[in-house]
Structure 1
Amino acid sequence: FYSRRYDTADPALARFFYNFYRTLGPAHAILQSAGTSNALQSMIITLTLTRGQLRIKDNLSEEAVRARAKTTDTSKLAEELKNELKKFSAAFDGAKVKQIEHECKMLHVLLDLINFDYFFLLKKFDSKILEDNYLYTPRFEAVNGKYIVDNLKDFLEIIPALDPKTNWASILDMLKEYRQVEVISHNEWNKLLQAIMKVQRSKVLEMVVQLIDKDPFYKPTPRMYEKKVVEEYLSKIKSEVEFIAQKIVQEKREVKIESLASFVVGTSSISRLSNYTETANMRFSKRNLTGYIYITPLNYLKAFLLDFIKKDVKEVVNFFVIKGIWSTNTTPRLLSDAYQQFRQITDALLKFDSSLGEGEELGRKVKTAVFIAGRSKKDYNSLREIVMNINHTAKDLIYHGVENCIAMGKVLKLILE
């Protein structure tokens, strides 16, 4: 591989790497981005799953969970999903985890070998060699060792981690299934394994680097391939199932809200606010801010206050308070107080929404803050604080509205009883 007399790397070293290039080169194009994708790792794990685990996994798919949600109480379904996740995870014992993580490690070693830049190295031995032309017969010449020493060091970062005793046939078959084409020939890979084992045993490439650098103490720095693959896989499944469950709960909640809104105000689509709106939120999104977050409930509250409290409820209150005959004035006073609270909340809500208009002080303040928010972190935080305070006011209005609904409901219930 190396001539100490002339300090040159021999053509034999180039032929060694050319065998890798010819065998693994085509795989480079086929497996582009495979190293950054978790699909292959997931395939390795899936191949180890028991029938019981496969059944559980099917039951945890979004389609299956949604089907179960139609006939199962939400809280009961959440408990079932939690227990199934525990059972699924428990089947990954120590031996299975070790096997999976070893195969995933070897997969990444193989991908690093595939992605090694053999062409760049070989071009130094034969300047006429063409990339991806595997029919070309190269004519390698000896080159000064210093020109290829860095390439050798890069290669030696990979080789120490490779375990020839791994079930490579299984990994190659998986790659074939992944791309639906033979990625690497089994026979050609086995030949490379023999060459790798010789290099590992003899440490010949290490010695070549030591000779080139004139450093007898040189040792390769192996790449680290250790990764908690199973832990990440289980965490991902758990997160996905939890997200599906939360989404279903949210969807059911929204359906219930829409149903109640339709029952109370005749429609689930209400837009009564003038300035605390989704349209206003568009300017906040440009500054990566969520903006106004209580638009829907505040619209419902305004509709309820103006359409029911100001009309129907007012008539009921007047009937009981003015025309009612009471042994004490406690009950009518409570009813009157609750109604007056609603009037105050109505006035506060109208004033709040109006204050966000561009002609008002707060509205102008918001507009200016949005405009300058991109200048500095301080200006951005100032806008964020303004929006947070506005949302806090909206939340308080909703809270007081709900609180007063409960108070009036209790009084009306007392009257009816």
Structure 2
Amino acid sequence: MPDDLIGKVISIISGGEEPDSEKKTLLKLVVKEISQNKYAKFFRLKSEEIDPSFAAYIYEIYKIVYPACAFVQNTAKLSRVKHISVEAFMDKGTLELARKLRPEVVQERVKAQEPKVVSAQLKEDLNSFVAVFDSKRIANINRCYNLNTALIQFAQFNFLSILRRFDTGLPEGNGPYTPRFQPAKAADLIEELRQFRAVIQHLEPGDDWKNALTILKIARDGQELIPLNQWNMLLMNLREFKNSNIIELIGQYTTKNPVWRVKSEPIDEQLAENWLEAKRSDVQGVIDRIVTSQRNGQIETLATAVFGTPEVTRLQYYNQETTDACNDIGLDGFLYAGAMNYLTAFVQDFLSKEMQELCDILLVRGQWIINSQSMEMSNAIHTINDATESAADLDLLLSETGTFGPRFSQALVQADRNKTQARFIDHVAGELDETALTLINTAVQSLVVVGKHMKNLLGDTQKSPPELIINWKELGYFTKVPISQRITEAYKKINYFVQLMLLLTHPESA
């Protein structure tokens, strides 16, 4: 094309105004190219019609690919292509791992084994499975699947729609029928021509179609879709057809737009990565459910051991009920409501009652050899009590007269339809959660100190001579229950409670 005409084409593409005479000049070049094209017979320039020979060409293609056209209508079989495309590149060992990670097999494993055992095995199997998929294997899977995607898109082209523009009585399928094709207006077929040109863009005879067609054969329950030799011959023919640019030329002349082009989206599906991520997500979901179930069971057992019931509520606002209200509108609510209520109940029901009486005996009446140790235990108990008082103050922030209370209650009513109110709830919950976690951690650290002393004191009751308190015999007079028994029960309850708090604030410890 001469330089001045190239400049004109660029001007048209960029939106510049072109005189009709210049456009006509470009269209004359299009006419010349059509007349010299190998497929010139497909287009009648004078009448701007598509010749019946083009319909015959498409019909021959349709008869070859009809089994594929029928196959892509079967969504159940078509959906298997992804799975088969991945498994086709697995060896025997990898296939066995894949079988063990199938949902139905995983569920059977969960029923048959201890939660910890099956969880650990699933993690190991999943890691081993993912490790098999190196970059080369992933590239081969994606390449093969993208070939089949191109073939499926081609088979999904509505051949009947375009063919019935030339013969309205054409039946579906590739059975015996002698078509009576008539010319058709090119302007009426521009969209079908564009679509046909787009779906053949990524079909190339040099690609590895043997593996691709084998995968489709498996998906079709062992029935061959298209013989490989026939398919390769068709691809060579289509490559020649594409390279002729006859569709583009017909489109340019018919639309009187010399820069008319067919755009085709690239096919670049990351099947292997997406499939592995889905597999990882499915298996990890099972592992997470096992861990969550196990954790919830541990929480229920520990809470029952400490309180006699798994459900405890002491705070009026910062509690599970308010969190449930937040969950109902899609918000997280309070992360540490359960832990804070358990802590408050532990101090009120145990530390301030039976534990307080025991501590009075040990710390007030006991004659400690090293006073600093008794002071450490006493300070720890005071710290726990202070944390509980702070918990009550935190709870009051959500009361009707509290800093957040009135607006928080109103926000709960409006948050499902007002993002500003939802953000306010999240902000308040985050701020209170941060304070709550600090209080819980402080109390737990102090309880660990108390528990350590209880354990040491229990051992000291059996020593002769004692190393911590020298008047154990005298202390026994102040309690109806043997003091060693009371210390044992207190130590066990503190130990259970610390474990409970760790589970509620550090899920990874389950």
The equivalent position to 1:201 in structure 2, one of 235, 240, 248, is 240
Alignment-derived partner of residue 393 in structure 1:
435
**Alpha carbons 1:172, 1:186 under 8 Å: kept:** no
C-alpha distance in structure 1 between counterparts of 2:326 and 2:98, whole Å: 41
Alignment-derived partner of residue 162 in structure 2:
121
In structure 1, what residue type is equivalent to 2:46? Answer: R
Does residue 305 (structure 1) correspond to residue 347 (structure 2)? The answer is yes
**1:66-215 correspondence to structure 2 within 5 Å:** 66=110, 70=115, 72=117, 80-81=124-125, 84-85=128-129, 87-90=131-134, 94=136, 96-122=137-163, 124-125=165-166, 140-164=181-205, 166-167=209-210, 169-177=213-221, 186=226, 194-203=233-242, 206-214=245-253
Distance 1:241 1:32, change over 3 A: closer
Secondary structure at the counterpart of residue 161 of structure 1: coil
C-alpha distance in structure 2 between counterparts of 1:136 and 1:32, whole Å: 30
In structure 2, what residue type is equivalent to 1:324? Answer: G
Secondary structure at the counterpart of residue 148 of structure 1: helix
Alignment-derived partner of residue 260 in structure 1:
302
Secondary structure at the counterpart of residue 73 of structure 2: helix
**Alpha carbons 1:152, 1:205 under 8 Å: kept:** no
C-alpha distance in structure 2 between counterparts of 1:235 and 1:366, whole Å: 39
Secondary structure at the counterpart of residue 403 of structure 1: helix
Alignment-derived partner of residue 448 in structure 2:
406
Identity of aligned residues (%): 22
Distance 1:8 1:192, change over 3 A: farther
Distance 1:208 1:414, change over 3 A: closer
Does residue 335 (structure 1) correspond to residue 374 (structure 2)? The answer is no
C-alpha distance in structure 2 between counterparts of 1:30 and 1:77, whole Å: 37
Question: Which stretch has the larger CA shift, 358-367 or 189-198?
Answer: 189-198
In structure 1, what residue type is equivalent to 2:238? Answer: V
Alignment-derived partner of residue 368 in structure 1:
410
Aligned-residue offset at 1:309: 0.8
Alignment RMSD? 3.9
Distance 1:205 1:283, change over 3 A: farther
Aligned-residue offset at 1:303: 2.6
Distance 1:33 1:151, change over 3 A: farther
Bigger Cα Rg: 2
CA deviation digits over 1:236-294, x for unaligned, max 9?
43444444444434433333333322322223333444322333234434553211111
Distance 1:329 1:97, change over 3 A: closer
Distance 1:406 1:247, change over 3 A: same
CA deviation digits over 1:179-201, x for unaligned, max 9?
x9x6x8546x9767644532322
Distance 1:338 1:277, change over 3 A: same
Distance 1:72 1:212, change over 3 A: closer
C-alpha distance in structure 2 between counterparts of 1:192 and 1:81, whole Å: 40
**Alpha carbons 1:345, 1:400 under 8 Å: kept:** yes
**1:272-287 correspondence to structure 2 within 5 Å:** 272-285=314-327, 287=329
Distance 1:56 1:211, change over 3 A: closer
Alignment-derived partner of residue 42 in structure 1:
83
In structure 2, what residue type is equivalent to 1:223? Answer: E
C-alpha distance in structure 2 between counterparts of 1:374 and 1:70, whole Å: 37
Aligned-residue offset at 1:99: 4.0
Distance 1:137 1:343, change over 3 A: farther
**Alpha carbons 1:341, 1:404 under 8 Å: kept:** yes
Distance 1:114 1:246, change over 3 A: same
Aligned-residue offset at 1:70: 4.9
TM-score by length of 2: 0.67
Q: Which runs of 5+ in 1 are unaligned?
A: none
Secondary structure at the counterpart of residue 29 of structure 1: coil
Alignment-derived partner of residue 330 in structure 2:
288
Question: Which stretch has the larger CA shift, 248-257 or 102-111?
Answer: 248-257
Aligned-residue offset at 1:316: 0.7
In structure 2, what residue type is equivalent to 1:322? Answer: V
C-alpha distance in structure 2 between counterparts of 1:380 and 1:320, whole Å: 51
Alignment-derived partner of residue 96 in structure 2:
55
CA deviation digits over 1:307-357, x for unaligned, max 9?
211222111111113322345643443333333333322322234334434
C-alpha distance in structure 2 between counterparts of 1:346 and 1:142, whole Å: 90
**Alpha carbons 1:317, 1:339 under 8 Å: kept:** no
Count residues with an aligned counterpart.
Answer: 405
Secondary structure at the counterpart of residue 201 of structure 2: helix
